Amino acid sequence: MRTFLRPTGFVDSPFGYDGKVARLAGGLNWFASVELIHPDGARELVAVEGIEARLDQAMAEIWDRIIAPRPPLILGQRTIRLDQPQVMGIVNVTPDSFSDGGQFADARAAAEAGARQSAAGAALIDVGGESTRPGAKDVWEGDEIERILPVVQQLAAGGTAVSIDTRKAAVIEAALGAGAGLVNDVSALTHDDRSAEVVAAAGVPVILMHHQGDPQSMQDAPRYADVLVKVYDWLEQRIAAAEAAGVARGNMLVDPGIGFGKSVAHNLELLNGLAIFHGLGCPLVLGASRKRMIGALSNEAPPDQRLAGSLVLALKAAEQGAQLIRVHDVPETVQALKIWRGLRDQALTPRVG
């Protein structure tokens, strides 16, 4: 049992607050307070000023991870800085994804969509060939490879940074061979016994996403005693397992898995407490674009009418230091983050005169 640390009390600028604020993960966010979540569930708000005196060894290690800068992602010839929020565009080459399933008639159309997202400002494009929405059925790896391979090849050949959204080792191998540079595994390397070995041997970054159950059952009354703590613990265990399998810790990113075995209330609690996951010491990925929770909170708006809600959640993620924000609507999200970045830049510019 241990105490968790959640950065909070965010401030616009650190100027004039020497020793009273700390920088979150080397990014553009500064915070003045920390919520301590104790083993008995009690919560305590403490100031950043003098916090080191309150920390035991385990808490001090978490604190060091919270404030440590995140090195850039190296994806082949591409470098993606993580000292600011970056957009990850979604291209689903599937007939049944919850939002854009069947949208792309062929690989060329999918690749062109990814190229447009890249031109609009996405730092990388996440290509998937299997839907993992609630109720989705497994796809044979051969079919999945046939769907994604030409798309990955075309995007990579055009200089686009590509990640592969899959749970299967054979698909990972095929995609990496075609030019993908990052693995996005919604099962956190638990679905396929070979996945961790393949990722470790390739030396590429991997996103470990929390989930509860499988796509067929994950939304059947999910329960958590404390969703922030349980998801944190689970991700920490997956980091340790991946490291034991040979994956370098510096190559791991984490995703709390919005909508994967969570109720609307669980998702909202995770989004409100998102900054706690910086204590894992890995870059933080947030994928909430067009998800069911937005419809649940907005008169059951269908997926193609959830842009405004998606933008709110993207900005919520940026405000809590998420480094990668995975979205369907790239131009709109890039614009929103540019305005957010302008506000941050102004706040971080020393006043003269």
Residue 212 CB-half CA count within 13 A: 20
- Is 20 a catalytic site residue? no
CA distances from 182 to 103, 104, 206, 286 (A): 24, 22, 6, 16
Catalytic residue among 70, 238, 291, 306: 291
Question: How many other CB atoms are there within 10 angstroms of residue 50's CB atom?
Answer: 10
Q: How far apart are CA 68 and CA 84, in angstroms?
A: 14
Tokens of 219: 């939304």
**CB–CB of 24/321 below 8 Å?**
yes
Q: How many Cβ atoms sit within 10 Å of the Cβ of residue 13?
A: 15
Reading the block at residue 172, the tokens are: 């990972």
SS (H, E, C) 125-161: EEEECCCCCCCCCCCCHHHHHHHHHHHHHHHHHCCCC
Structure tokens at 152: 């990955």
Q: Residue 177: how many CB atoms within 10 A of its CB? A: 12
Phi-psi region of 271 (alpha: psi -120 to 50; beta: other; left: phi over 0): alpha
C-alpha to C-alpha distance for 133 and 314, rounded to whole angstroms:
20
H/E stretch holding 333? helix 330-347
Residue 11, burial from CB neighbour count under 10 angstroms (0-12, 13-18, 19+): middle
The DSSP output letter for 304 is G
326: annotated active-site residue = yes
* Active-site amino acid positions: 291, 326
